[in-house]
Amino acid sequence: MKIESTPLAGCYIIHDTVFKDSRGYFFESFNAQKFEALTGIATPFVQDNQSASTRGVLRGLHMQIGVHAQAKLVRVLEGSVLDVAVDLRKYSPTFGKSFSIELTGDNQKQFYIPRGFAHGFVVLSDVAVFFYKCDNLYNKDSELGIMYNDPGLNINWQLPESSLILSDKDKKNFHLADVLHRL
């Protein structure tokens, strides 16, 4: 396992050691002891989630707030996504800044996103299977959605806006300026 820092403090790209041979491949996708030794973060994951989506599906930007905030460890099992994290920690020097990375079933990179970040992804391949671990259980009353196209965030989703597919719920997400008091 190799950890790579990102421009956003606390966000890490994880490169696992992949063992390949004629039968396929094997890798250890998470090891709490190694992760803590390399990052200083002890993260007790308590919930795993998985989704399958088609090209252009954009899920996000989502977060949990308050005592139900979640850190996430995300990866793609099949296909390709552009994964985006937005720092919404009020007193962070990178507040309002985003970081994006392409995660694929082939590159097998993982992305750790700490509590206090909004998160989303858009599918770049025909189909993508997305998997993530959370360090806190989902709580509907603590969810918060930020508009993917908030002009203050200026995120490049790498696909034309006309090709994006959003849930009815995500179409009603808030603009960041309207929810700053909730963070």
The catalytic position among 12, 112, 132, 148 is 132
The catalytic position among 62, 112, 119, 148 is 62
| Cα dihedral 140→146→148→153 (10° resolution) | -150
Q: How far apart are CA 116 and CA 67, in angstroms?
A: 11
Q: Where are the beta strands (DSSP E) in the chain?
A: 2-5, 12-15, 19-21, 24-26, 47-54, 58-64, 72-78, 80-87, 98-104, 110-113, 117-123, 127-134, 143-145
132 is catalytic: yes
DSSP at 101: E
DSSP at 69: -
Backbone angles phi, psi at 36, to 5 degrees: -65, -40
For the sheet containing 72-78, what is the strand order? 2-5, 12-15, 110-113, 72-78, 127-134, 47-54
Backbone angles phi, psi at 39, to 5 degrees: -115, -20
Q: Which residues are catalytic?
A: 62, 132
